[in-house]
Chain A
Amino acid sequence: MKLSREEVRHLALLVHLGLSDEEVERLREQLSNILENFEVLQQVDTTGVEPTAHCIALENVLRDDVPGPSLSAGQVLANAPDREEDYLKVRAVLEQP
């Protein structure tokens, strides 16, 4: 399938990925080409076939909730781009009216 520029912009918005105009155009071409190639999958008869999300039979894995040693706030926050005391600092989520 061929993607339009608007569709590429829409996808980028869904994942909050900033793109320049040149990137939008390049991705439009490349993704269209890749998706066209993937249409071969429609040839496969999958009637009555269950999907596989995971190759091993996964069941819920439970354990007792036992307190143990964990990282300190300092260790956890050591890589934070911006912090104040023991908090992560972010830009305002709600704009001023």
Chain B
Amino acid sequence: MSLFRLTAHEAADRLRRRETSSVELTRAALGRIASVDPKVRAFVSVCEEQALRQAEAADARLKSGDAAPLTGIPALIKDNMCTAGVRTTCSSKMLESFVPPYDATVVEKLAGAGMVMLGKANMDEFAMGSSTEHSAFFPTHNPWDLARVPGGSSGGAAVGVAADECFYSLGSDTGGSIRQPAGFCSVVGLKPTYGRVSRYGLVAFASSLDQIGPFTKDVTDCALVLNAISGHDPRDSTSLPVPVPDYAQALVPGLKGLRLGVPKEYFVAGMQAGVQDVMEAALVRLQELGAEIDRDVSLPHTPYALAVYYIIAPSEASANLARYDGVKYGFSAKEAESMWDGLEKTKQYGLGPEVKRRIMLGTHALSSGYYDAYYLKAQKVRTLIRREFDRAFEKYDALVTPTSPVVPFKMGERMDDPLQMYLSDVCTLPMNIAGIPGISVPAGFVDGLPVGLQIVARPLAEETLLRVAYAYEQATDWHKKKPPL
């Protein structure tokens, strides 16, 4: 088997047995990038020289016996996490030439664990989108069907893993931006509990919803990467000061004694028939593994999550993106008559249509006369959505839903209709609203297009997610299927 096909834990085992080196793994990944990235376009930047230097350092560290579980494993980072000395663009003209002077905490942690960083991943501009078509540079293609979208906003990070261009990657999830592309590309993607992973150095989109998490080829890798990035960070006051368990301990077979709820609101309104069939089969499999399944669960406020999300997230975005003034860093319009004119032109030419749409939407929701009707109302319904989840978790260890009601759609199909685009996230938004963790695992295919199974649990119950995901994965072979590239 080619080296680039290995999972991260398989590659790490070979490194420890001296059957390969980090430099060999890195060359294999760079070779794979050279051959398939022109088709899928997952990378905004490839850091070949730096990656090989990091691989040599990792090999020395492995030799000295002082290696961490992920030392020497090549990875890909979504381009909204700051990387010292490496361009961090957010796939926006605004930050096209921005080179951060510091590393995000997650990057610092992975670097400390001996990561080889292959490059930076394409995304919807400022993480606003569900298809990666809103990148200001180029769209990323789904490796299962190049005419279709990979999902978004972390499309590049999902595709990098699905196309075996890297061994794992990091994405960010504000309303489904890890789980939805993981489902669309048939890889594992986890959004941790809000506060589990530091957001320091993550370019802010919606600060009460954003969370960083891993994309991996299997659930074991997911646990390893989560181990490496989790934990309190004094530089992010919203990161939780609680101990981090060893998530690898959660990977035990069987689901005996576990109670799983299936909320019926996730199985209506616009769900494709094929997705429904895949879900039915997955539920049968979970039951065979010993889980008790209750299909009579109702979370009645679920249909309001879309409106709540698309009021709260753009409101926070409109405040966060006010910093792009063309003065401190980033794009700056040169031809302007005055300071105000320069500011307006900087945003007009530096930002793309979806970002402008959300800034305007958020500004409206926060503006005088509309604040109570939109923003405050959305925050109150947010409370109701949280309470509903709290009550469900008194009865169930986890909830099971489809990751998206649809399979990957054709490129261009939803670009002119923002509401249709937003609907592809309808199953993943509620977890960000409630701050709870969720994972998407490969669950099958409809006419060759991937479908994801989403598992959701109470705050800080990532171990439950991993346990259910692992048992399901071990009983199926969807995660071993590779796209025809």
Contacts and interface: CB of A to CB of B under 8 A. Distances in A.
Given A18-B348, A41-B381, A54-B208, 19 more contacts: A11-B360, A11-B363, A18-B347, A23-B353, A30-B418, A31-B364, A34-B310, A35-B361, A37-B307, A44-B304, A51-B376, A51-B382, A52-B379, A52-B383, A58-B237, A71-B101, A71-B102, A79-B97, A88-B328
Contacts, number: 155
Interface string B285-319: 00000000000000001011001101100000010
Contact of B367 (A14, A27, A51, A54): A14
A78 B383 contact: no
Given A38-B307, A44-B384, A76-B101, A15 B359 contact: yes
Contacts of A30: 357, 418
Given A17-B360, A53-B208, A90-B327, A79 B304 contact: no
Contacts of A82: 332
A56 B339 contact: no
Given A49-B384, A79-B328, A91 B338 contact: yes
B339 A27 contact: no
A92 B338 CA distance: 7
B342 interface: yes
Contacts of B304: 40-41, 44
B146 interface: no
Interface in A48-97: 49-56, 58, 61, 63, 71, 75-76, 78-82, 88, 90-93, 95
A35 B379 contact: no
Most chain A CB within a 10 A radius of its CB, from B102, B307, B341, B418: B307
Given A38-B374, A46-B380, A76-B101, A19 B338 contact: no
Interface string B445-461: 00000000000000100
B327 A88 contact: yes
B269 interface: no
